[in-house]
Structure 1
Amino acid sequence: MRLQDYLRIIRKRWWVVALVPLIAAVAAYAFSKTQTPLYRSQARYVVLFNRLDTGGNIFAGQILSAYINLVYRPDRLQTVANELQIDKTGQQLMEFVRLQPQPNSSIIVIEADYYTPELSQQLADAVGRLLNARVVEANRNNISQDRASLDMAPAQYVGIATPKTKINVLAGALLGLVLGVLLAFVLEYLDDTVRNAADVERYTGLPTIGAIPGGATGAGRRPRFRPATAVGVIAAATHSREDYER
């Protein structure tokens, strides 16, 4: 098919191409509104080390993940759930909390999602206090000269974590657009109706040499014509007039 054929199909089935994305966008919006929103708060803790040489940097890269592993456990988060009186187990709370180390900047980012902005902030702060307690305990038990401490700051509310209504609607519309275009071509493929001479030439591969009137459709209306296709070759006349007189 040529590019003109693709454009012709899209123009012909424009209502399908427009309707499917609209339905998909409305469905994505409705789905987003049925979801229970989760609100996100974030706390950023700078990890300070008593050594700033190369050995201290290596120590920093190793210790950040170790600190997170001391906190991001069901038994540790269970103490947070008990402290905040959250009706969740420590295992369930792991789905609402994330700790992300950033070794290059010696930062640990704590993100907490929950059903209210206030509780999400309290949850992030509680996990931060638990992390600081683990750091203090690790320093007390550390027999080397390497020590670390946390520069703590209150958690800040950053916005709605889920649902992302605008993103969902946009994604639904784009997906619907793709499906709409595909559906338009499927409908065109299934439609074998011949409406004009161009359809005849396209389906049969033969040139149209004329149109046969289909009869008038009423007073004042032009008659419809049925296209007739060339189905053979017209041979040139080879006999003279004298041959016919014989």
Structure 2
Amino acid sequence: MQLQTYARILWRRGWIMLLLAVIMAAAAFGFSTIMEKRAPVYKSTIKILVQPARTDFGQAQAAKTLLRSYVAWMDSNYRAAEVIDRLQLDMTPEQLRSDVTIASDDSRLVIQLDVENSNGDVANDIAREWANLFVQWRNEQNQTVRREDRIDAFILDDPRYVLDSPKTTVNTIAGGMLGFLIGLGIVFVLEYMEAGVIRSPEDVERFLDLPVLSAIPPTEG
């Protein structure tokens, strides 16, 4: 199919693709707005720096190795139960853990804790309390070892929450693209269905690859 043919199709039926793109984008935006009011999900993030007392290579490598153990210590039902008890949350440790993600960054010796909750302030409280548990535990462990062998933990900043779901902008763009593609499919289906219909001398020339010498004028009345 030549570019001229594509251009002709888009000129005739491009409005279908644009209309469906606008409708689908508006629908996605409306749905996301409703969900944002009825069932928003906020994510709070807090970062903990793990810092060896000595800066030599051996101590730094030991801290990197221990990071995974620290993550395992934090990501347990025992820690979740302590947070629930301190904040008086109405949920089980398993439910709380399902809303929490804990990961380590070996290159920076940082542990990141993400908490999802329908209430942003509660998400902040959970993240802060969970991080405090780890810092307190490290302080207790450091009391049992020599000062030069200690590995300290510091909270880098206060937790802050952001709206994690629904992602209104992303959903709106995705809805518009989906509507455009659906419209494109409809356009090509219509063109396929009408491919054998001859309406003008130009259609005859296109199908037969022969010039039209004359045409019978339409009758009036």
Q: TM-score, normalised by structure 2?
A: 0.86
Number of residue pairs aligned between Structure 1 and Structure 2: 217
In structure 1, what is the Cα distance between the partners aligned to 2:140 and 2:7? Answer: 70
Cα gap change, 1:206/1:90 in structure 2, threshold over 3 Å: closer, same or farther? farther
From 179, 183, 207, the equivalent of 1:180 is: 183
Q: Secondary structure at the match of 2:202?
A: helix
Structure 1 counterpart of 2:108, from 102, 105, 108: 105
Asked whether the 8 Å contact 1:67–1:134 carries over to 2, the reply is no
**2:32 touches 2:166 (CA, 8 Å); kept in 1?**
yes
Q: Where does residue 76 of structure 1 map in the other structure?
A: 79
1:67 lines up with 2:70 in the alignment: yes
Aligned residue among 87, 112, 135 for 2:90: 87
SS in 2 for 1:209: coil
Q: CA deviation at 1:164?
A: 1.1
Structure 1 residue 122 displacement after superposition: 0.2
Equivalents in 2 of 1:142, 1:29: separation in Å?
57
Tell me what 2:30 maps to: 30
Match of 1:18 in 2: 18
Alpha-carbon distance change, 34 to 75 in structure 1, aligned in 2, over 3 angstroms: farther
Preserved contact between residue 40 and residue 158 of structure 1 (Cα < 8 Å):
yes
Offset, 1:165: 0.4
**What does 1:114-125 correspond to in 2, within 5 Å?**
114-125=117-128
Higher helix share: 2
Select the structure of larger CA radius of gyration: 1
- The letter of the residue matching 1:102 is D
Q: Deviations over 1:3-39 (max 9, x none)?
A: 1211211111112110111122122113313431112
Q: Which of 200, 207, 213 in structure 1 is aligned with 2:217?
A: 213
* Structure 1: gaps of 5 or more residues: 218-246
Q: Distance in 2 between matches of 1:206 and 1:135?
A: 87
Counterpart of 1:132? 135
| Residue type of the alignment partner of 1:85 | Q
CA contact (8 A) 2:21 2:179 kept: yes
Identity within the alignment, % = 30
TM-score for both structures, normalised by structure 1: 0.78
SS at 1:41's partner residue?
strand
1:215 counterpart SS class: coil
1:157 aligns with 2:160: yes
